Amino acid sequence: MTNFFRSLSRPAMVSLLLLPLSNTVFADQSAVLSAVQAALPQYEVESTELHDGAGLYVVVLKDGPTLHVTQDGKYFVAGDLYRIDNTALENETEKAKLAKVEALPESQMIVYKAKNEKAHITVFTDVDCGYCRMLHKEVPKLNDAGVTVRYLAYPRAGIGSEAYRKMVSVWCSADPQDWLTKVKLGAEIPENKCVNPVADQYKLGNEVGVRGTPSIVLDNGAFLPGYLPAAELVKHLGL
């Protein structure tokens, strides 16, 4: 089953298979969750919630695909859920992910604001990630193009790691913008402690399917995994 999910992660295979979880009929979220855990014990469930429009349970697996499970607990679809809107398709999975990201107040992010903002991107970042450092060097160009860059913490090694400690210290510093830039350039930051959102942002990243950094969320709901130069990001934003 693990090898099956590895193959499903490829775009050509996502959302194409409808598979049974069990032969038992269930009617509530806890029973659906139990069915998923029994069928796929190798995966940890990040979150489960009912999609009202489709009538399916959305189950996010850590280091696995998003599942859409029937309310009777008997079948699931692996991959994104789409809604047919006249002649267009709307990605409901990306829409739900965007809603979770947009629900966070900017006061919990590290924000590099464009003077004449036309769009914004939200980036899950790790201070020790080489491609994150490359993207950070593009922030001035993005700002000049009218794109505000908003950072969320995603220490890839997890909560309690060295990267996590650095990011807590950045978020708890007197000038998080300045220190984020310095740490991404290799500076050592003194340990700072405070009530901070780093762990919650890391958990959110897992819930919305972040698998690496940088992971870029456009304000139109599109998710772009990996580094892109400023010019390419501006094109994706339609600017």
Residues with catalytic function: 126, 129, 132, 156
User: 4: part of which helix (H) or strand (E)?
Assistant: helix 2-8
Half-sphere exposure for 3 (CA within 13 Å, toward CB): 0
The runs of H, that is alpha helices, within 162-221 are 162-171, 176-184, 198-207
Report how far residue 161's alpha carbon sits from residue 163's, in angstroms, rounded to the nearest whole number.
Answer: 5
Report how far residue 187's alpha carbon sits from residue 106's, in angstroms, rounded to the nearest whole number.
Answer: 25
Judge contact between 75 and 84, C-beta under 8 A.
no
Q: Residue 229, preceding bond cis, omega within 30 degrees?
A: no
SS3 of the chain: helix, strand, coil, percent, to 5: 35, 25, 40
- Look at the block and give the residue holding tokens 């692996």: 78
